[in-house]
Copies of this chain bind each other. A is one copy, B any other.
Amino acid sequence: MSGRIVVLTGGVGGAKLALGLCHAVPAESVTAIVNTGDDFRHLGLWISPDLDTLLYTLSGKSDEERGWGRASESWNFMAVLRTLGGEDWFQLGDGDLALHVERSRRLQAGRTLTDVMADYGRSWHVAAEILPMSDQPVATWLDTDEGPLPFQRYFVERRCAPRATAVRFDGAEQALPGPDVIARLTSPDTKAILIAPSNPYLSIDPILAVPGIRAALASAVAPVVAVSPLVGGDAVKGPTRKLMDELGMPATPRAIADHYAGIIDALLVDERDRGAPLPETAHDFCDTLMLTLDDRLRVAHAALDLAARTTR
Protein backbone atom coordinates (compact mmCIF):
# COMPACT_ATOMS: atom_id res chain seq x y z
CA MET A 1 0.00 0.00 0.00
CA SER A 2 1.51 3.32 -1.06
CA GLY A 3 0.38 6.81 -0.03
CA ARG A 4 -0.04 8.40 3.36
CA ILE A 5 -1.38 6.60 6.42
CA VAL A 6 -3.04 8.81 9.03
CA VAL A 7 -3.76 7.59 12.54
CA LEU A 8 -5.85 9.37 15.16
CA THR A 9 -4.37 8.50 18.51
CA GLY A 10 -4.09 9.06 22.23
CA GLY A 11 -1.01 8.05 24.23
CA VAL A 12 0.39 4.65 25.11
CA GLY A 13 -1.90 2.19 23.25
CA GLY A 14 -2.18 4.36 20.19
CA ALA A 15 1.56 4.97 20.09
CA LYS A 16 2.08 1.20 19.86
CA LEU A 17 -0.05 1.05 16.72
CA ALA A 18 1.73 4.11 15.32
CA LEU A 19 5.07 2.37 15.86
CA GLY A 20 3.72 -0.74 14.12
CA LEU A 21 2.65 1.45 11.18
CA CYS A 22 6.12 2.98 10.98
CA HIS A 23 7.49 -0.53 10.51
CA ALA A 24 4.72 -1.69 8.16
CA VAL A 25 5.08 1.23 5.71
CA PRO A 26 7.80 3.87 5.18
CA ALA A 27 7.76 5.84 8.44
CA GLU A 28 7.83 9.17 6.60
CA SER A 29 4.42 8.34 5.11
CA VAL A 30 2.79 8.03 8.57
CA THR A 31 0.97 10.97 10.18
CA ALA A 32 -0.23 10.74 13.78
CA ILE A 33 -2.97 13.23 14.73
CA VAL A 34 -2.67 13.30 18.48
CA ASN A 35 -5.05 14.09 21.33
CA THR A 36 -4.09 17.19 23.29
CA GLY A 37 -7.12 17.12 25.62
CA ASP A 38 -4.84 15.64 28.30
CA ASP A 39 -2.47 18.59 28.02
CA PHE A 40 -2.28 20.72 31.11
CA ARG A 41 -0.31 23.41 32.84
CA HIS A 42 1.54 22.01 35.83
CA LEU A 43 4.15 23.80 37.95
CA GLY A 44 3.93 26.57 35.37
CA LEU A 45 4.98 24.21 32.57
CA TRP A 46 3.00 23.10 29.53
CA ILE A 47 2.76 19.32 29.58
CA SER A 48 1.56 17.33 26.54
CA PRO A 49 1.48 13.69 27.67
CA ASP A 50 0.12 12.06 24.52
CA LEU A 51 2.31 14.02 22.11
CA ASP A 52 5.37 13.18 24.18
CA THR A 53 4.41 9.51 24.33
CA LEU A 54 4.30 9.46 20.54
CA LEU A 55 7.66 11.24 20.41
CA TYR A 56 9.27 8.82 22.88
CA THR A 57 7.77 5.76 21.22
CA LEU A 58 8.59 6.69 17.63
CA SER A 59 12.14 7.78 18.52
CA GLY A 60 12.82 4.57 20.43
CA LYS A 61 13.26 6.39 23.74
CA SER A 62 10.17 5.16 25.59
CA ASP A 63 10.35 3.10 28.76
CA GLU A 64 8.74 -0.16 27.68
CA GLU A 65 8.69 -1.65 31.14
CA ARG A 66 7.11 1.26 33.01
CA GLY A 67 4.77 1.89 30.09
CA TRP A 68 5.22 5.69 30.00
CA GLY A 69 7.95 8.30 29.98
CA ARG A 70 11.49 7.88 28.77
CA ALA A 71 13.89 5.01 29.27
CA SER A 72 16.90 5.47 31.61
CA GLU A 73 15.04 8.24 33.40
CA SER A 74 16.22 9.73 36.71
CA TRP A 75 14.05 11.35 39.38
CA ASN A 76 16.22 13.89 41.18
CA PHE A 77 13.91 16.79 40.35
CA MET A 78 10.89 15.11 41.96
CA ALA A 79 12.90 14.15 45.04
CA VAL A 80 14.01 17.74 45.63
CA LEU A 81 10.61 19.18 44.74
CA ARG A 82 9.10 16.99 47.45
CA THR A 83 11.50 18.42 50.06
CA LEU A 84 10.30 21.92 49.09
CA GLY A 85 6.66 20.99 49.58
CA GLY A 86 5.96 21.18 45.83
CA GLU A 87 3.12 19.27 44.17
CA ASP A 88 4.33 15.73 43.59
CA TRP A 89 1.25 13.84 42.39
CA PHE A 90 2.37 14.06 38.76
CA GLN A 91 5.73 12.41 38.12
CA LEU A 92 8.15 14.37 35.95
CA GLY A 93 11.46 12.66 35.15
CA ASP A 94 14.65 14.71 34.94
CA GLY A 95 15.14 14.14 31.23
CA ASP A 96 11.43 14.43 30.50
CA LEU A 97 11.47 17.90 32.07
CA ALA A 98 13.58 19.18 29.20
CA LEU A 99 10.65 18.62 26.81
CA HIS A 100 8.31 20.59 29.06
CA VAL A 101 10.65 23.45 29.97
CA GLU A 102 11.78 23.99 26.38
CA ARG A 103 8.23 23.64 25.02
CA SER A 104 6.94 26.17 27.58
CA ARG A 105 9.70 28.58 26.65
CA ARG A 106 8.93 28.31 22.94
CA LEU A 107 5.16 28.61 23.42
CA GLN A 108 5.68 31.72 25.54
CA ALA A 109 7.88 33.10 22.77
CA GLY A 110 4.91 32.76 20.41
CA ARG A 111 5.71 29.47 18.65
CA THR A 112 2.89 26.99 18.05
CA LEU A 113 2.62 23.53 19.55
CA THR A 114 2.68 22.12 16.01
CA ASP A 115 5.99 23.89 15.34
CA VAL A 116 7.49 22.74 18.62
CA MET A 117 6.57 19.09 18.04
CA ALA A 118 7.84 19.22 14.44
CA ASP A 119 11.17 20.57 15.75
CA TYR A 120 11.34 17.94 18.48
CA GLY A 121 10.60 15.21 15.91
CA ARG A 122 13.39 16.49 13.63
CA SER A 123 15.80 16.76 16.57
CA TRP A 124 15.16 13.13 17.44
CA HIS A 125 15.09 11.87 13.84
CA VAL A 126 11.45 10.79 13.93
CA ALA A 127 10.49 10.19 10.29
CA ALA A 128 6.75 10.09 10.97
CA GLU A 129 4.75 13.27 11.38
CA ILE A 130 3.39 13.99 14.88
CA LEU A 131 0.59 16.57 14.64
CA PRO A 132 -1.28 18.02 17.64
CA MET A 133 -5.02 17.90 16.95
CA SER A 134 -5.04 21.66 17.62
CA ASP A 135 -2.70 24.48 18.56
CA GLN A 136 -5.38 25.95 20.82
CA PRO A 137 -5.85 24.60 24.33
CA VAL A 138 -8.57 21.97 24.72
CA ALA A 139 -9.01 20.55 28.20
CA THR A 140 -10.72 17.24 28.91
CA TRP A 141 -12.86 17.38 32.06
CA LEU A 142 -14.86 14.61 33.71
CA ASP A 143 -18.05 15.18 35.63
CA THR A 144 -17.84 12.73 38.51
CA ASP A 145 -19.53 11.86 41.77
CA GLU A 146 -16.77 13.96 43.40
CA GLY A 147 -17.53 16.94 41.19
CA PRO A 148 -15.86 18.08 37.98
CA LEU A 149 -12.24 17.00 37.60
CA PRO A 150 -9.66 17.98 34.97
CA PHE A 151 -8.31 14.92 33.20
CA GLN A 152 -4.93 14.55 34.93
CA ARG A 153 -6.45 15.01 38.40
CA TYR A 154 -8.94 12.25 37.58
CA PHE A 155 -6.51 9.97 35.77
CA VAL A 156 -3.24 10.35 37.68
CA GLU A 157 -4.00 11.86 41.07
CA ARG A 158 -7.32 10.03 41.69
CA ARG A 159 -6.37 6.97 39.61
CA CYS A 160 -9.78 6.98 37.89
CA ALA A 161 -11.48 6.12 41.18
CA PRO A 162 -14.32 8.70 40.97
CA ARG A 163 -17.44 7.57 39.14
CA ALA A 164 -17.78 9.48 35.86
CA THR A 165 -21.12 10.74 34.55
CA ALA A 166 -19.92 12.76 31.56
CA VAL A 167 -16.80 13.83 29.66
CA ARG A 168 -16.40 17.26 28.10
CA PHE A 169 -13.74 19.16 26.22
CA ASP A 170 -13.35 22.73 27.39
CA GLY A 171 -12.26 25.05 24.65
CA ALA A 172 -12.93 22.56 21.85
CA GLU A 173 -15.63 24.71 20.25
CA GLN A 174 -13.20 27.61 19.89
CA ALA A 175 -10.28 25.44 18.77
CA LEU A 176 -9.07 25.11 15.21
CA PRO A 177 -7.60 21.90 13.82
CA GLY A 178 -3.80 22.00 13.65
CA PRO A 179 -2.60 23.64 10.41
CA ASP A 180 -2.07 20.39 8.45
CA VAL A 181 -4.69 18.20 10.12
CA ILE A 182 -7.57 18.70 7.67
CA ALA A 183 -5.27 18.49 4.65
CA ARG A 184 -3.83 15.15 5.78
CA LEU A 185 -7.30 13.69 6.37
CA THR A 186 -8.80 14.82 3.08
CA SER A 187 -5.78 14.56 0.77
CA PRO A 188 -6.28 12.20 -2.19
CA ASP A 189 -2.79 10.95 -1.38
CA THR A 190 -4.02 9.57 1.94
CA LYS A 191 -4.72 5.87 1.51
CA ALA A 192 -6.03 4.97 4.94
CA ILE A 193 -7.18 6.70 8.10
CA LEU A 194 -6.96 4.63 11.25
CA ILE A 195 -8.37 5.26 14.69
CA ALA A 196 -5.97 3.77 17.23
CA PRO A 197 -7.20 1.46 20.03
CA SER A 198 -7.06 4.40 22.43
CA ASN A 199 -9.82 5.23 24.89
CA PRO A 200 -12.74 6.43 22.70
CA TYR A 201 -14.07 8.83 25.33
CA LEU A 202 -10.83 10.26 26.65
CA SER A 203 -8.38 10.06 23.77
CA ILE A 204 -10.32 10.00 20.48
CA ASP A 205 -13.43 12.03 21.30
CA PRO A 206 -11.36 15.17 22.10
CA ILE A 207 -9.90 14.97 18.58
CA LEU A 208 -13.39 14.53 17.10
CA ALA A 209 -14.60 17.48 19.18
CA VAL A 210 -12.37 19.94 17.33
CA PRO A 211 -14.64 21.63 14.77
CA GLY A 212 -13.90 20.47 11.23
CA ILE A 213 -12.25 17.14 12.03
CA ARG A 214 -15.47 15.11 12.05
CA ALA A 215 -16.52 16.66 8.74
CA ALA A 216 -13.06 16.02 7.26
CA LEU A 217 -13.37 12.35 8.22
CA ALA A 218 -16.79 12.21 6.59
CA SER A 219 -15.54 13.77 3.37
CA ALA A 220 -12.19 11.95 3.30
CA VAL A 221 -11.34 9.94 0.21
CA ALA A 222 -9.57 7.27 2.27
CA PRO A 223 -11.46 4.62 4.22
CA VAL A 224 -11.56 5.09 7.99
CA VAL A 225 -10.83 2.00 10.09
CA ALA A 226 -10.90 1.90 13.87
CA VAL A 227 -9.04 -0.67 15.92
CA SER A 228 -11.24 -1.73 18.83
CA PRO A 229 -9.72 -0.88 22.21
CA LEU A 230 -11.37 -4.01 23.67
CA VAL A 231 -9.47 -7.25 24.09
CA GLY A 232 -11.79 -10.01 25.25
CA GLY A 233 -14.38 -7.47 26.41
CA ASP A 234 -11.92 -5.47 28.51
CA ALA A 235 -9.45 -2.67 27.98
CA VAL A 236 -5.76 -3.56 27.92
CA LYS A 237 -4.89 -0.67 30.20
CA GLY A 238 -6.52 2.38 31.69
CA PRO A 239 -10.09 3.19 32.56
CA THR A 240 -11.85 2.41 29.26
CA ARG A 241 -13.95 -0.47 30.61
CA LYS A 242 -14.81 1.25 33.91
CA LEU A 243 -15.80 4.41 32.01
CA MET A 244 -17.92 2.43 29.51
CA ASP A 245 -19.70 0.81 32.44
CA GLU A 246 -20.27 4.15 34.15
CA LEU A 247 -21.50 5.82 30.98
CA GLY A 248 -23.89 2.91 30.31
CA MET A 249 -22.17 1.53 27.23
CA PRO A 250 -21.77 -2.26 26.91
CA ALA A 251 -18.12 -3.32 26.47
CA THR A 252 -18.67 -4.85 23.05
CA PRO A 253 -17.27 -4.29 19.56
CA ARG A 254 -20.76 -3.29 18.44
CA ALA A 255 -20.89 -0.51 21.03
CA ILE A 256 -17.49 0.75 19.86
CA ALA A 257 -18.69 0.79 16.25
CA ASP A 258 -21.89 2.57 17.33
CA HIS A 259 -19.80 5.15 19.16
CA TYR A 260 -17.89 5.84 15.94
CA ALA A 261 -21.04 5.65 13.74
CA GLY A 262 -20.89 8.05 10.80
CA ILE A 263 -17.11 8.20 11.06
CA ILE A 264 -15.68 4.74 10.49
CA ASP A 265 -16.15 2.41 7.58
CA ALA A 266 -14.84 -0.68 9.34
CA LEU A 267 -13.72 -1.96 12.74
CA LEU A 268 -10.80 -4.28 13.50
CA VAL A 269 -11.97 -6.51 16.36
CA ASP A 270 -9.84 -8.58 18.70
CA GLU A 271 -10.23 -12.27 17.94
CA ARG A 272 -11.15 -12.89 21.58
CA ASP A 273 -14.32 -10.88 20.96
CA ARG A 274 -15.65 -13.07 18.11
CA GLY A 275 -18.47 -14.22 20.38
CA ALA A 276 -19.46 -10.72 21.54
CA PRO A 277 -22.08 -8.54 19.84
CA LEU A 278 -20.43 -7.43 16.61
CA PRO A 279 -21.01 -4.38 14.43
CA GLU A 280 -23.36 -4.66 11.47
CA THR A 281 -20.82 -2.72 9.43
CA ALA A 282 -17.59 -4.14 8.00
CA HIS A 283 -15.21 -5.70 10.47
CA ASP A 284 -12.37 -8.12 10.68
CA PHE A 285 -10.58 -10.02 13.43
CA CYS A 286 -7.01 -10.02 14.63
CA ASP A 287 -5.10 -10.65 17.82
CA THR A 288 -4.88 -6.96 18.79
CA LEU A 289 -2.83 -7.36 21.98
CA MET A 290 0.42 -5.45 21.34
CA LEU A 291 3.15 -6.62 23.70
CA THR A 292 6.05 -6.95 21.26
CA LEU A 293 7.10 -5.07 18.14
CA ASP A 294 5.92 -8.09 16.10
CA ASP A 295 2.47 -7.68 17.69
CA ARG A 296 2.43 -4.02 16.69
CA LEU A 297 3.42 -4.86 13.15
CA ARG A 298 0.71 -7.55 12.97
CA VAL A 299 -2.03 -5.17 14.14
CA ALA A 300 -0.79 -2.45 11.79
CA HIS A 301 -0.87 -4.86 8.84
CA ALA A 302 -4.33 -6.15 9.80
CA ALA A 303 -5.71 -2.61 10.04
CA LEU A 304 -4.12 -1.60 6.73
CA ASP A 305 -5.41 -4.79 5.05
CA LEU A 306 -8.92 -4.11 6.32
CA ALA A 307 -8.67 -0.53 5.03
CA ALA A 308 -7.45 -1.80 1.62
CA ARG A 309 -10.51 -4.08 1.39
CA THR A 310 -12.89 -1.30 2.48
CA THR A 311 -14.42 1.16 0.04
CA ARG A 312 -16.15 4.33 1.15
Q: Which residues of A contact B (CB under 8 A)?
A: 43-45, 70, 73-74, 76-81, 83-86, 93-99, 101-102, 104-105, 108, 119-120, 123-124
14 A-B residue pairs with CB within 8 Å: A43-B102, A74-B94, A76-B93, A76-B95, A77-B98, A78-B98, A79-B95, A81-B98, A83-B124, A84-B99, A84-B119, A85-B119, A86-B98, A94-B94
Q: Is the interface of A mostly helix, strand, loop or mixed?
A: helix
How many copies altogether?
Answer: 2
In the complex, which of the residues B85, B94, B104, B119 contacts A76, with contact meaning CB atoms closer than 8 Å? B94
How long is the Cα–Cα vector from A70 to B76 in the complex, in angstroms? Answer: 11
The 9 closest A-B pairs by CB, nearest first: A80-B98, A94-B94, A76-B94, A81-B98, A80-B95, A76-B95, A44-B105, A86-B102, A74-B76
In the complex, which of the residues B70, B81, B119 contacts A101, with contact meaning CB atoms closer than 8 Å? B81
How long is the Cα–Cα vector from A45 to B95 in the complex, in angstroms? Answer: 17
> A66 CB to closest chain B CB, in angstroms?
15
In the complex, which of the residues B70, B81, B84, B101 contacts A45, with contact meaning CB atoms closer than 8 Å? B101
> A46 CB to closest chain B CB, in angstroms?
10
